[in-house]
Chains A and B, each alone.
Chain A
C-alpha cells in the first residue's frame, strides 16, 4: 500500500517532469552502453588471459617433458627398481620447476601397454585423478602433440578453473607413459575478477558522472522551456506585459524571440479588442443616456395627454392610452438595455443584505396577482414554514422573481402555475413551474439569450422587453447562484433559481429538484 503509493508518486513525478525523464533516459542508455562495453572488455580480457595461460602451459609442458627425459637418462629400461626410483623423482622434480606457482603433476602408465615390468604411476598428492578422464587420455594417447583441456579443480572448497595438459612419454624400456600437468588459473581468475570489479566500479562512477552532467545539461536546456511555461501562465492569468529574456542567438533565443513576438501580437489584439469592446459598451451606455432626455419629454407629454383623455373624442382618447403604454414599454426596454450594458461593462456593484426568501416571494406574488387574475391563472404556492434567510441584493432577486412569474403566467395558457421555495444547509431555491406551451430542446438552449422569445408568432401581450431572462441569469450569477430551466413542448417549463445562503459559502446541491409539473 505504502510502497505502491510511493511508486505512484514517483511515476507521476516522472511523467510530469521532462527533465527527470530526459535524465532517466540518458542514464539508462549510457548504462546499457557501459554494460555492453564492460561485457565485451571482460570477455576479451578473459579470453586473452586464458590463451596466454594455455600457451604458457604448453611451453612448460614441453620443458617438463625435457626435464623428465633428463631424469630417465642413464636409467636402464630393464631394471625395475631403477625405473621406479626414477619415477618417484618425476613428481617432486616437476612440481618444483617452472614459473607457475602451483601445479599438479601426474605421470601415468598407459593402459593397454603390455610391458612386463611392474611400474608405478606417480602423481601429486593433491591431484584428483578423476580430472583426467578416459576420453582425454585417449586423445593424448593417440596424438603426437601436446593436448590441453580446461577443467575445474577444487581448492579449499572453492572451484577454480585450471588447464590440464597431457602428452605421451616413453620411458626407457619402451614403457608407454602419459605426462599430465594441471595448471590452476587462480591468478588469472583473480586478475579477471579485479578487472571486472574495476570495470563495474568505473562504469558506476562514469554513470554517476554522466547523470550529473546530463542533469546540468538538461536543466540548462529545460530552464528556458520552463521559463517560457511560467511566463505563458503569467500571461494567461492576466499579466500581459510579461516577456521572456533573450540571451545569445541560439535556438533557445529564437524560441524566446518568437514567444515574445507572439505575446506582443496577442497583446495588441487584446488591447484592440478591449478598446473595441469598451467603445461599444460606452456607445450603448451613451445612446441609452442620450435617449433619456427625449424619452422623459415623451413620457411627460404622454402622461399629460393621458390625464386629459376624458376631454378627447374616442379615437384621440385611445391614441393617448396607446401612446402612454408604448412610452412605458420603451422606458422599460431602455432601463433593461442600460442594465445589460452595465453587466457587459462589469460595472455592477451588488449591495448584499440578509433577507427572507419567503417574504420576497410573497411580495412578488402580491405584485403579480392582478396580472395572474387577468389571465385567470391560479398560483399554487408551497413555501416552508419559518424564515428562509439568504444574503442577497434584494432588488435583483425581486426582479428575477417578477420575471419568472410574469413569464410563467404569460405562457401557462390558463393552467395553474406552481411556486415552490426550499432550503438546505448551504442554499436556498425557488422554482416556478407552468404547464403551458413549454419549449423544445432548441428553444431551451436559447431561453436565456437576449431578445429571444419562446414563440415569435405569439402576440407580445405583456410587452416584455426580451431582456428579462438575460438580465435574470446575470443577476443569479452575480450572486454566485444559478438560474436553470427544463421544459418540454406542451408540458410546460420549470425555472429554478438557486442561491447560496451566504456570499462566502459554496452553494452545493439545490434543495429543490428541477422538473416539470407532470413529472413525479
Chain B
C-alpha cells in the first residue's frame, strides 16, 4: 500500500483528501504546517508527497528544495493559483507535477498513480550518452564515472530521450510518455524538467550537448 504525505494547512481539505485517498486504497500521513512537513516526511518515509504551496511557517517551494536535497520522492503540488510564477518556481524547486484547485479526486488519483507506477521492466543494459551512462535496471546514472542523483521522473525523461538518440520528441509526446498525460497538459512541465535535468548532467547548462532543443518542435538526446 503506497503511503501519501498530504501537506495542506486547510483542515477540512486535508481531511477530505485523506478520505478520498484512503477510499482509493492509499495509506495517508499528514502535515498541517510547513514546519511539520520535513519531520513528518522523515518519520513516515512516504512514497509520494502532495504539497500545498501556500503554507504557514514554511512555504511549499522551500519544502520542495529541502526534500530534494536528500530524496527524489515524487512531489505533486496542489495550487490555488493559476498565476504561473509560483507554479513554475515550484517545478524549478523540484516538484514533478501540479494539480490546480479545484480538482476532482479521479484526476488527483490518476496523477498520483502515474507517478507511483514502476517503470516498465527493460532488459538490463547500459545506455551511453556522451560522458553519461544510464543503468536501465538499477536506475543509476554515472557522469564521468561519478554518480549523479536524478529523481525517478528525471531518470524517466532522460531514459526516454536517450533510448532513441537523435530522435525528436515533441513536448506533447514527452508529456504522454514521461508524465503519462492522456490529454492536453501544460508543456511548461517539460521545459522546466529539461532545465533541471541539464543542470545535473550537462557540463555547461547554457550550451547543452546531451539534451538538445529542437526549435519549434521539441527535444532530442545528444549527437552520439
Point out residues on A near B: beta carbons under 8 Å.
Answer: 289-290, 292-297, 299-301, 303-304, 307, 331, 334, 338
**Among candidates B23, B101, B105, residue contacting A292 with C-beta atoms closer than 8 Å:** B101
Query: In the complex, which residues of chain B have a beta carbon less than 8 angstroms from the beta carbon of A338?
Result: 82
Interface bin, chain B: 10 to 19
Does B17 sit at the interface, judged by CB under 8 A? yes
With the chains together, A297 CA to B20 CA distance in Å? Answer: 10
Minimum CB–CB distance from B149 to chain A (whole Å) comes to 33
With the chains together, A20 CA to B43 CA distance in Å? Answer: 89
Closest to B11 in A: A297
Given the interface contacts A289-B81, A292-B101, does A304 sit within 8 Å of B13 by beta carbon? no
Query: In the complex, which residues of chain B have a beta carbon less than 8 angstroms from the beta carbon of A295?
Result: 101-102
Closest to A342 in B: B82
B80 and A297 contact, CB distance less than 8 A: no
Does B176 sit at the interface, judged by CB under 8 A? no
Convert B102-115 into 0s and 1s, putting 1 for each residue whose CB lies closer than 8 angstroms to a CB of A. 11111000000000
With the chains together, A331 CA to B104 CA distance in Å? Answer: 11
Does B16 sit at the interface, judged by CB under 8 A? yes
A303 and B104 contact, CB distance less than 8 A: yes
For the A-B complex, the count of residue pairs with Cβ-Cβ distances under 8 Å equals 48
B19 and A292 contact, CB distance less than 8 A: no
With the chains together, A299 CA to B16 CA distance in Å? Answer: 10
A296 and B101 contact, CB distance less than 8 A: yes
With the chains together, A331 CA to B12 CA distance in Å? Answer: 18
Leading 5 A-B pairs by shortest Cβ distance: A296-B102, A292-B101, A292-B80, A297-B13, A296-B101
Interface of chain A: mostly helix, strand, loop or mixed: helix
B105-140 interface with A by 8 A CB criterion? 105-106
Does B10 sit at the interface, judged by CB under 8 A? yes
Beyond the given A296-B101, A303-B104, A334-B102, please list 18 additional residue pairs across the A-B interface where CB-CB is below 8 A. Answer: A289-B80, A292-B80, A292-B101, A292-B102, A293-B10, A293-B13, A293-B101, A294-B12, A295-B102, A299-B104, A300-B16, A300-B17, A300-B20, A300-B105, A303-B106, A304-B19, A304-B23, A307-B23
Query: In the complex, which residues of chain A have a beta carbon less than 8 angstroms from the beta carbon of B13?
Result: 293-294, 296-297, 300
Given the interface contacts A304-B23, A304-B105, does A297 sit within 8 Å of B16 by beta carbon? yes
**Among candidates B16, B80, B81, B103, residue contacting A301 with C-beta atoms closer than 8 Å:** B16
Query: In the complex, which residues of chain B have a beta carbon less than 8 angstroms from the beta carbon of A297?
Result: 10, 12-13, 16
Query: In the complex, which residues of chain B have a beta carbon less than 8 angstroms from the beta carbon of A300?
Result: 13, 16-17, 19-20, 104-105
With the chains together, A468 CA to B122 CA distance in Å? Answer: 50
With the chains together, A293 CA to B55 CA distance in Å? Answer: 13
Closest to A300 in B: B16
Query: In the complex, which residues of chain A have a beta carbon less than 8 angstroms from the beta carbon of B80?
Result: 289-290, 292-293
With the chains together, A482 CA to B105 CA distance in Å? Answer: 39
With the chains together, A317 CA to B19 CA distance in Å? Answer: 19
Query: In the complex, which residues of chain A have a beta carbon less than 8 angstroms from the beta carbon of B19?
Result: 300-301, 304
Query: In the complex, which residues of chain B have a beta carbon less than 8 angstroms from the beta carbon of A292?
Result: 80, 101-102
Query: In the complex, which residues of chain A have a beta carbon less than 8 angstroms from the beta carbon of B82?
Result: 338
Minimum CB–CB distance from B76 to chain A (whole Å) comes to 14
Minimum CB–CB distance from A382 to chain B (whole Å) comes to 28
With the chains together, A270 CA to B77 CA distance in Å? Answer: 40
Query: In the complex, which residues of chain B have a beta carbon less than 8 angstroms from the beta carbon of A307?
Result: 23
With the chains together, A292 CA to B100 CA distance in Å? Answer: 9
With the chains together, A165 CA to B13 CA distance in Å? Answer: 132
With the chains together, A290 CA to B54 CA distance in Å? Answer: 11
With the chains together, A301 CA to B20 CA distance in Å? Answer: 8
With the chains together, A301 CA to B16 CA distance in Å? Answer: 6
A-B contact pairs, 23 of them (CB 8 A): A290-B80, A292-B80, A292-B102, A293-B13, A293-B80, A293-B101, A294-B10, A294-B13, A296-B102, A296-B103, A297-B10, A297-B16, A299-B102, A299-B103, A299-B104, A300-B13, A303-B20, A303-B104, A303-B105, A304-B105, A331-B102, A334-B102, A338-B82
Closest to A299 in B: B102
**Among candidates A289, A290, A304, A331, residue contacting B20 with C-beta atoms closer than 8 Å:** A304
Minimum CB–CB distance from B198 to chain A (whole Å) comes to 24
Query: In the complex, which residues of chain A have a beta carbon less than 8 angstroms from the beta carbon of B81?
Result: 289
A304 and B16 contact, CB distance less than 8 A: yes
The residue in A289, A299, A300, A331 that gathers the most chain B C-beta atoms within 10 A of its C-beta is: A300
Query: In the complex, which residues of chain A have a beta carbon less than 8 angstroms from the beta carbon of B104?
Result: 299-300, 303
Convert B15-45 into 0s and 1s, putting 1 for each residue whose CB lies closer than 8 angstroms to a CB of A. 0110110010000000000000000000000
Query: In the complex, which residues of chain A have a beta carbon less than 8 angstroms from the beta carbon of B101?
Result: 292-293, 295-296
Query: In the complex, which residues of chain A have a beta carbon less than 8 angstroms from the beta carbon of B106?
Result: 303
